[in-house]
Amino acid sequence: MNIRLAEAKDVEQLIKMRWDFTIEHDESKINCSYTKFASEFHSFFEKALSSGQWFVWVVEEAGKIVSHIYIELIHKVPRPGRVTHPFVYMTNVYTVPEYRNMGVGSKLLSFINNWIEENEYEFVIVWPSDEAIPYYLKNGYVHCKEPMEYFPS
């Protein structure tokens, strides 16, 4: 298994994985247009790869991507008296069903945790589903106080 950053050549596999991930958790989305979604994803992915703000880490096995985690760096406003480091927003954490419960996701998350420490990012935010909470807890993540939210009407 190879852990690496995603490349432009991976976009079709990543589109399919994002689609499968969504359908797995909300079957009502199956009636959405795959073509429209793929077009939107292509646009996002192209911008993400060139931005230097997004990192898409993948686990590849025999040419097939079997797991991925998307990372966005959030830059903070500098403060006097301290060095300001970005924090990490982690999203779209997914392992294909046939590779689950084999340690693949934990290996990828451990790799990313080391990368985060090496780059001195301040902290990680992730909003896990209820069923994913044990995965994060066993990999060193802790619950935090709830953030405040605003939803424009």
In this model, does residue 55 exceed pLDDT 90?
yes
Look at residue 124 and tell me whether its pLDDT is greater than 90: yes
The answer as to whether 8 is a domain residue is yes
CB-CB contact of 82 with 47 (8 Å): no
> How many structural domains is the chain composed of?
1
Q: Assess if residue 23 is contained within a domain.
A: yes
Rounded to 5 degrees, φ, ψ at 39 are -65, -45
In a domain, 143, yes or no: no
Q: What is the pLDDT of residue 6?
A: 97
Has residue 63 got a pLDDT over 80? yes
- DSSP helix/strand/coil, 92: strand
pLDDT confidence of 151, banded at 50, 70, 90? confident
Q: Is residue 152 part of a domain?
A: no
**Residues 110-115: contacts with CB under 8 Å, at least 24 apart:** 110/139, 111/3, 111/57, 112/57, 112/69, 112/71, 113/139, 113/140, 115/57
The whole-chain average pLDDT of the chain stands at: 93
- Indicate which CATH number applies to the domain containing 103: 3.40.630.30
pLDDT band, very low/low/confident/very high, at 30 (cuts 50, 70, 90): confident
Q: Is residue 148 part of a domain?
A: no
Check: pTM over 0.75? Answer yes or no: yes
The number of angstroms, rounded, from the C-alpha of 97 to the middle of its chain's C-alpha atoms is 17
Domain that holds residue 54: 2-138
